[in-house]
A and B are shown apart, each in its own frame.
Chain A
């Protein structure tokens, strides 16, 4: 194909045909990514193998054994449960908080704009460093939050180091980092809504709750869906905050998918199980990202159309 198209008569020197051009332009980006696709397939292969770095001689295909053993493995069910719980709680709370804050800041004013810019700071903080900040603040010896907790009667509140409050603590950090993400998307959404329906409702004296549930919320739905799915996809894969805060502990309290896979790979050197865990997580995210991309595309077309 290239040879034939290249020879089409063009007046001078270095010309690339119109049909080849886009491929040439996107090829380098593609090549870089193909390099990354290979490890993906390797992961699939590993997941069907009995493969421990500590016993390389015993490496062999065991086909579905890694997956089948998950059914009777309480550690796996714990991983699945804690991952879904973590993603569910964080996204739900961040959505409610983010929507609330966005509505508080909806009116354009200097103060509101200033606050919304300020609220971006947690989002721009590296999640691993954010976890470190909270770790310092919840230190049992000198942490300011431990001190404040003791003031309201929670003596010896152990934050991330107690199994009963570890999930609460990492969820809190996640909310601190990522609520601004939902807030800023919904704020942009709210401010882009047409004003006529709201003016008409105000003229007719329609109650505020009615306006919120029947006008604001439906019109905002594409933004809410996109922001929620975005967060859900990231949250179910959360690693940085949990690893930096507790390394999955105490015990196996917070061994979400990626943390568990990391520990399996580097501590118990069980490559097969680690890969199988990642394939399952990938299947979940693949399913979610398909729904996400549909919504995201719709929103993107709308944004481009309005431009």
Chain B
């Protein structure tokens, strides 16, 4: 590797530059669009230099878009709140259910344990609509249609397998001897779980929670099928923008920027754990 020729280094540099441009350009461009008025956006050729305006963000945050034709209500903050609420609650529920189960699967080989663990894993790979379409009909009968509870329950399909399998790996990494020693000292299993296992697996649990949050936030199909306007998260809400009349491209861009910022920020924060999370614990970063 040390004996790289100049030509090779130039080629590598060029290839990497192309890669960075391809993957970064859309984000940069949408960010730029979000600071432009409709007039500059519609100009051809596209402008690289423009006078930035915060009008798009103000319109979204105040929920009022004032145009020549009058004022228009934008419910985007509602979508943003839905995203926050749905993702946070789903992850909290998934942690509450998933961490004890992960501990059981890691520490106790009981009858059917692997079958159950794999059944949970298989939810990650089953087609979402297979479950969602009958569920819409059930939810209507049960009164769960268009409720947060119904949505949070379905969001467990994303969060639970992820948390279960990642956290299980972290529990398995803790040497069982540490726990035995603590048990022999006369402590109950619960004390062992709380004082030994949980703190040692803590970073892994936090990372799994962050990842589950990102996946819940980015989900589209569940809310598209099960939620109507007032319960929709940003992924579905932003898409509705493009067909609703009166909303301009600058506001759509600003909405996209506001919608992707939380996940991007969290991903940067949790990037150390991302590889392990994305591979459901099979590859360590």
Contact residues of A with B, CB < 8 Å? 15-16, 18-19, 21-23, 25-26, 28-30, 32-33, 35-36, 38-40, 42-43, 46, 100-101, 104-105, 107, 115, 117-130, 132-137, 139, 141-142, 144, 147, 176, 179-181, 184-185, 188-189, 192, 202, 223, 226-227, 230, 233, 237, 239-240, 243-244, 257-258, 261-262, 265, 271, 274-275, 278-279, 281-282, 285-286, 288-289, 292-293, 296-297, 299-300, 303-304, 306-307
- Which of B119, B131, B134, B279 is within 8 Å of A46, CB to CB? B134
- Which of A126, A184, A285 is within 8 Å of B218, CB to CB? A126
B135 at the interface (CB under 8 A from A): yes
The answer to whether A21 and B281 have CB atoms under 8 Å apart is no
B58 at the interface (CB under 8 A from A): no
B108 at the interface (CB under 8 A from A): yes
The answer to whether B169 and A300 have CB atoms under 8 Å apart is yes
Q: How far is the CB of A303 from chain B (nearest CB, A)?
A: 5
Which chain B residues in 227-279 approach chain A with CB under 8 Å? 234-236, 238-239, 242, 249, 252-253, 256, 259-260, 263-264, 266-268, 271, 274-276, 278-279
Known: A39-B135, A135-B242, A240-B221. A129 touches B256 (CB 8 A): yes
9 sampled A-B residue pairs with Cβ under 8 A: A18-B108, A25-B100, A101-B19, A104-B19, A120-B268, A126-B234, A126-B259, A142-B44, A296-B279
The answer to whether A126 and B220 have CB atoms under 8 Å apart is yes
Please name the residue on chain B nearest to A107 by beta carbon: B1
The answer to whether B16 and A115 have CB atoms under 8 Å apart is yes
Known: A126-B259, A303-B282. A282 touches B110 (CB 8 A): no
Q: Which residues of B contact A237 (CB under 8 A)?
A: 127-128
Q: Which residues of A contact B118 (CB under 8 A)?
A: 293
- Name the residue in A107, A121, A134, A192 with the highest tally of chain B Cβ atoms < 10 Å from its Cβ: A121
Q: Which residues of A contact B119 (CB under 8 A)?
A: 33
Please name the residue on chain A nearest to B262 by beta carbon: A124
Q: Which residues of A contact B24 (CB under 8 A)?
A: 118, 121
The answer to whether A25 and B220 have CB atoms under 8 Å apart is no
Contact residues of B with A, CB < 8 Å? 1, 12, 15-16, 19-20, 22-24, 26-27, 29-30, 33, 41-46, 96-98, 100-101, 103-105, 107-108, 110, 113, 116, 118-123, 125-135, 137-138, 153-154, 156-157, 160, 164, 169, 172-173, 188-189, 214, 217-221, 224-225, 234-236, 238-239, 242, 249, 252-253, 256, 259-260, 263-264, 266-268, 271, 274-276, 278-285
Report the number of A-B residue pairs with Cβ-Cβ less than 8 Å: 279
The answer to whether B253 and A136 have CB atoms under 8 Å apart is yes
Other A-B pairs beyond A18-B108, A26-B116, A126-B234, 16, CB < 8 Å: A21-B108, A22-B104, A22-B107, A22-B110, A26-B104, A33-B120, A117-B268, A121-B23, A121-B24, A125-B263, A226-B279, A226-B282, A244-B220, A275-B133, A296-B282, A304-B169
Q: Which residues of B contact A281 (CB under 8 A)?
A: 127, 130
Q: Which residues of A contact B278 (CB under 8 A)?
A: 123, 181, 184-185
- Which of B235, B263, B280 is within 8 Å of A128, CB to CB? B235
Please name the residue on chain B nearest to A34 by beta carbon: B119
Please name the residue on chain B nearest to A124 by beta carbon: B267
Q: Which residues of A contact B236 (CB under 8 A)?
A: 128
Q: Whole-angstrom distance between the alpha carbons of A181 and B234 in the complex?
A: 23
Q: Which residues of B contact A278 (CB under 8 A)?
A: 127, 129-130, 133
The answer to whether B41 and A126 have CB atoms under 8 Å apart is no
Q: Which residues of B contact A240 (CB under 8 A)?
A: 220-221, 235
Please name the residue on chain B nearest to A101 by beta carbon: B19
Q: Whole-angstrom distance between the alpha carbons of A227 and B235 in the complex?
A: 26
Q: Which residues of B contact A100 (CB under 8 A)?
A: 15
The answer to whether B235 and A126 have CB atoms under 8 Å apart is yes
